[in-house]
Amino acid sequence: MKENAKYGVTGALAGAANGFFGAGGGLFLVPMLVYWCGMEERRAFATSVAVIFPLSALSAALYWMQGGLAFAAAWPYLLGGVLGGWVAGCVFRRINMVWLRRAFGLLLLYGGVRAVLLL
């Protein structure tokens, strides 16, 4: 499959996950960019952030138009998320990829266990 097509399929899966679950597109993007598209890990993490922002904005707009978005409840999370994103962006280059990969794996594992136990 051509490289652009792989990126398109990867983006479509991330967009679908983001739309269905309200987030989580990056959980698909990072592994697919690394293992299917052959992108270097650090670049895949950074690319995932850049891709998820517009996907999240689109999903939020659609939820808002359908009456499913509570802006008042979202503001504290948005402010904390901006602060967390800024700090992480500043230290990203200094983090060893082995530890970043392990932390990402633990996050995936935690999310998977939570999803299974909450069903």
**CA–CA gap between residue 34 and residue 38 (Å, rounded):** 5
Q: At what angle do helices 41-65 and 97-118 cross, to 10 degrees?
A: 40
pLDDT averaged over the chain? 84
Distances (CA, A) of 65 to 15, 32, 75: 18, 31, 18
Two structure tokens written together for 66: 């359908």
- What is the pTM assigned to this prediction? 0.70
Q: What is the pLDDT of residue 24?
A: 66
What are the counts of helices (DSSP H) followed by strands (DSSP E) for the chain?
A: 5, 0
Per-residue pLDDT of 95-117, as tens digits, reads: 898 998 898 889 888 888 888 88
Residue 85 has what DSSP assignment? Answer: H
Q: What is the pLDDT of residue 61?
A: 87
Cβ atoms within 10 A of the Cβ of 103, count?
11
Percent of the chain surpassing pLDDT 70:
95
Mean pLDDT throughout 10-25?
76
Mean pLDDT throughout 72-87?
88
Confidence of residue 87 (pLDDT cuts 50, 70, 90): very high
Q: Are 53 and 78 in contact (CB under 8 A)?
A: no
- Residue identified by tokens 């597109």 is 25
Q: What is the pLDDT of residue 1?
A: 67
Mean pLDDT throughout 20-37?
80
Q: What is the pLDDT of residue 78?
A: 84
Q: Are 10 and 37 in contact (CB under 8 A)?
A: yes
